[in-house]
Chains A and B, each alone.
Chain A
Amino acid sequence: MSDVAVHEADHGTHGHITSTGLSNNKVAMWLFLGSECLLFGGLISTYMLYRGRVSIGPRPGNVFDIPFTSVSSFVLLMSSLTMVLAVSAAQKRDDRGTTLWLTVTALLGATFVGGQVYEFTAMYNEGLGFTTSLFGSSFFTLTGFHGVHVTVGIIMLMSLVGIIKRSDIPGDKAEVVELIGLYWHFVDVIWIVIFTLVYLIPA
């Protein structure tokens, strides 16, 4: 009996035969990001409903620091650039470039999170707490969830740097970097929506 192995001539599967001819990991990540649209859609629409509901405490226009948040937004946007450069380096098998750009991305993300923490502290000092009003609750829930997503992304980035340095990644390294890159870009994309709807459009 002869054994004939049939392999899909597909670049995404990297040796694993799948019914779609695509990487199952990548399909799963895109499905996950599609579901995340539903999560953030709910949080954003709840904020849009409640942002004018201020019985006590400051109103949105009183607490938002647009120049500061604009700089934060720019920082996060640039982290998307450095992330795509990391993915590009990984595809070229440049480990040094990959770890460099991943580290820069994590640093930019940490800068953004630091800015958020500073902003939340300033808002709290101005009288806007989580339970102050419906506006406060919905705002902190939305931006807090986003901040947690960024933090998880930073942890994943730094973990990946450590794993690459130890050359511990089984399978396709470029795909792993790409998958984490998809998550990171999505986090940036959600902030694009939040920055416009929450900060720039007055209540």
Chain B
Amino acid sequence: MTVATETHSEHDHSHDDHAEHGMSNAGYIRVAIILAAMTALEVSTYYVDFGAFFLPVLLTLMCLKFFIVVSYFMHLKFDNKLFSFCFYAGLFLAVMVYCIALATFKFFAA
């Protein structure tokens, strides 16, 4: 006896669920506006003297923008954690290795 097999490739429900992952178009536009505002704040550091806060503000904004794009535009926040592991493992390795390399060349020395 054979059992008819069925494939998933054209099932609408799988794509509906996939479309439910993440945000609506309005949500993406909101995120883009937030990113644009953060970019404007970054650029303002070129014109306005932030004093001792210059470097912390810039680096914080850079990291925030990085993770917002990765989490929302790249859907990492809504996807399987294995994808997060694949990406963040590489990112962590890169940051560690190159910070050690820079420290070797006394980049962080006063």
A 139-170 contacts with B by CB, 8 A: none
Interface residue stretch chosen among A29-37, A109-117, A122-130: A29-37
Which of A30, A40, A70 is close to B87, meaning CB atoms less than 8 Å apart? A30
- Does chain B have a CB within 8 A of A196? yes
Chain B nearest Cβ from A180, distance in angstroms: 12
A96 vs B69: C-alpha distance when bound (angstroms): 25
Q: How many interface contacts (CB-CB < 8 Å) are there between A and B?
A: 149
Chain A nearest Cβ from B23, distance in angstroms: 9
| In the complex, per-residue mask of A1-36: 1 if CB is within 8 Å of any chain B CB, else 0 | 011110100011111000010100011001101111
A 186-202 contacts with B by CB, 8 A: 186, 188-189, 192-193, 195-197, 200-201
Residue among B32, B74, B98 with max Cβ neighbours from chain A (10 Å): B74
Nearest residue (CB) in B for A88 is B25
- Does chain A have a CB within 8 A of B48? no
Q: What is the size category of the interface that chain A forms with chain B?
A: 35 or more
In the bound complex, residues from chain B placing their C-beta under 8 Å from that of A49 are 102, 105, 107
Which of B5, B15, B74, B98 is close to A186, meaning CB atoms less than 8 Å apart? B74
In the bound complex, residues from chain A placing their C-beta under 8 Å from that of B18 are 11-12, 91, 174
Flag if B19 contacts A92 (CB, 8 Å). Answer: yes
Flag if A196 contacts B58 (CB, 8 Å). Answer: yes
Chain A nearest Cβ from B12, distance in angstroms: 9
Residue among A4, A172, A181 with max Cβ neighbours from chain B (10 Å): A172
Which of A2, A80, A91 is close to B32, meaning CB atoms less than 8 Å apart? A80
Flag if B62 contacts A192 (CB, 8 Å). Answer: yes
A105 vs B65: C-alpha distance when bound (angstroms): 19
In the bound complex, residues from chain A placing their C-beta under 8 Å from that of B32 are 77-78, 80-81
Binding site for B on A (CB under 8 A): 2-5, 7, 11-15, 20, 22, 26-27, 30-31, 33-38, 40-42, 44-45, 48-49, 66-67, 70, 73-74, 77-78, 80-81, 83-85, 88, 91-93, 171-172, 174, 178, 181-182, 185-186, 188-189, 192-193, 195-197, 200-201
Name the 4 nearest CB pairs between A and B, nearest first. A34-B90, A41-B94, A45-B98, A30-B86
